[in-house]
């Protein structure tokens, strides 16, 4: 993530944004301000509206106020790490009967045990840092492909 030039390297041009009704709501939980800014830039011209949280506790509060189509969850944050925040989100969904929202784990750790721990916590996907724009956009599209957009009745 410390390579600002990655914004230009190999990023294909993006199409015009779809109408607001086709946009998706994402929750980005990331304690690093520079990582939040970079992911925001990566998704600027994509069909996403992004709410940002700097701690796991803040992410859970925003999720509870939802709805969101997908959560990007950093695993190492202050107050409440991404594992605990994901587990709290899954408990909220179970308590309300809401369908599970995809959670994409973001981590600088590439060891399989970190990914396995994230999956046990309820994460649906894993993306290692530093994040590549094309990979991020592809994974988001894959996780959202079969899901209807979040509506007022969800979350």
Q: Both tokens of residue 70?
A: 């997908």
16 is a domain residue: no
Task: Estimate to the nearest angstrom the gap between the alpha carbon of 104 and the chain centroid.
Answer: 5
Which residues constitute the domain of residue 131? 48-147
Entry pTM? 0.80
17 is a domain residue: no
Q: Are 150 and 26 within 8 A, CB to CB? A: no
Q: Report the CATH number at residue 58.
A: 3.40.50.2300
Tell me, what's the pLDDT at 66?
83
Give 123-150 pLDDT, tens digit per residue: 998 898 899 999 999 999 999 987 878 7
Tell me, what's the pLDDT at 137?
95
Bin 150: left if φ > 0, else alpha if -120 < ψ < 50, else beta.
beta
3-state secondary structure of 141: helix
Per DSSP, what are the bridge partners of residue 50? 26
Q: Are 60 and 85 within 8 A, CB to CB? A: yes
Query: What phi and psi, each to the nearest 5 degrees, are found at residue 35?
Result: -70, -40
């Amino acid at each position: 993530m410390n390579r600002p030039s990655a914004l230009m390297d190999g990023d294909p041009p993006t199409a015009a944004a779809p109408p607001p009704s086709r946009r998706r709501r994402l929750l980005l939980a990331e304690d690093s301000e520079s990582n939040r800014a970079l992911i925001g830039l990566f998704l600027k011209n994509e069909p996403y509206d992004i709410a940002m949280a700097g701690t796991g506790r803040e992410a859970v509060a925003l999720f509870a106020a939802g709805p969101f189509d997908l959560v990007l969850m950093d695993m190492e944050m202050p107050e409440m790490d991404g594992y605990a925040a994901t587990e709290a989100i899954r408990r909220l969904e179970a308590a309300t009967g809401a369908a599970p929202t995809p959670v994409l784990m973001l981590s600088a750790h590439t060891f399989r045990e970190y990914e396995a721990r994230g999956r046990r916590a309820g994460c649906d996907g894993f993306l290692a840092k530093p994040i590549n724009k094309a990979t991020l956009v592809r994974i988001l599209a894959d996780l959202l492909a079969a899901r209807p957009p979040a509506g007022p009745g969800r979350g």
